[in-house]
Amino acid sequence: MRTHPHEVAAQRRSPRARVIAAVSAVRCRWSGRILVVLALWARAAGTEGIAQDFRFPVRHDHGLRSCRGELSITAEGIEYRTAYAKHARRWAFEEIRMIVLASRREIVIHTYEPHRWALGRDRPFRFEAAQEIPMEVSAFLSARVRRPLATSFIAADGAPLHEIGARHRHRFGGCQGTIRIYADRIVYESRDRPRDSRAWRWSDIRRVGRFGPYWLEIVTYEPEFGGPTRSYVFDLKTSLSEEAYDFVWERVYPPAHRAKESNQ
């Protein structure tokens, strides 16, 4: 095979110059086709880059005062950049105990840092975003974070296996909404109190329970003010079938987990 003139010259150049020379040599032979491939590759890499890198201005709430900065969520973890150096943080996902997307403008990061005033409690970082946090942040964290996650962001994708009208019980009164059971998650979408909406992956649920077919309790890993974990109690408007409850139960308590429990 005849050596192309570009390739001879390339041997005496730096590695980068050699790559460029090699590409231009190929281009000599295959003209525009390679350029199209490179352009498509660059475009695909570009969109992936955007999808895994979220930055937005936030206010860090602490009592009477607050500091401001930028929260960035990437494949590496979460970083809070602020001029107030004492509160600047960078957490890898493993260093975070739990993330709560409490509303479209609120994200709470529960860390393992000891709380300054409350002995034995972990320190939460509560951030308020200047604008609505993108929906993609929730999907990104659900795919990336293995620790418990609580999200009030409800994406309407896929057809649920079961759908039941429900009332979420509060200490006083309640809110109205719908429970939807999917293959990979359970969702409560509140109609009148969006910040009570939740989408839980099975691993985000600590326990499920019920007293009869019209009452369902979901105990989560979310810390509750004045108690260890937050429990959601629902009155169901139509009965939850045995089949649907078994489906949920089997996913919340996978066989390996059940074997471990019974050995204890």
**Which residues of this protein are in contact with Zn ion, per CB under 5 A?**
60, 67, 87, 168, 175, 193, 196
Q: Which residue has the tokens 């020379």?
A: 21
- CB-nearer residue toward Zn ion: 162 or 195: 195
The CB-of-201 to Zn ion minimum distance in angstroms stands at 20
Min CB(42)–Zn ion separation in Å? 39
Smallest separation (angstroms) from Zn ion to the CB of 123? 11
Rounded least distance, CB 235 to Zn ion, Å: 11
Q: Which of 91, 73, 72 is nearest to 81 (CA)?
A: 72
Nearer to Zn ion (CB atom), residue 97 or residue 168: 168
DSSP string, 94-137: GGEEEEEEEETTEEEEEEEEEPSSSTTPEEEEEEEESSPPPHHH
List the structure tokens of 166. Answer: 């429900």
User: Closer CB to Zn ion, residue 196 or residue 204?
Assistant: 196
**What is the rounded distance in angstroms from the CA atom of residue 220 to the CA atom of residue 230?**
6
Which residues 6+ apart lie within 8 Å of 216 measured at CB?
166, 179, 208, 209, 210, 233, 234, 236, 240, 245
Nearer to Zn ion, 67 or 139 (CB): 67
> In this structure, are residues 38 and 31 in contact, taking their beta carbons and an 8 Å threshold?
no
φ/ψ of residue 21, rounded to 5: -65, -40
Q: Which is nearer to Zn ion, 75 or 85 (CB)?
A: 85
Report in angstroms how near the CB of residue 68 gets to Zn ion at its nearest: 8
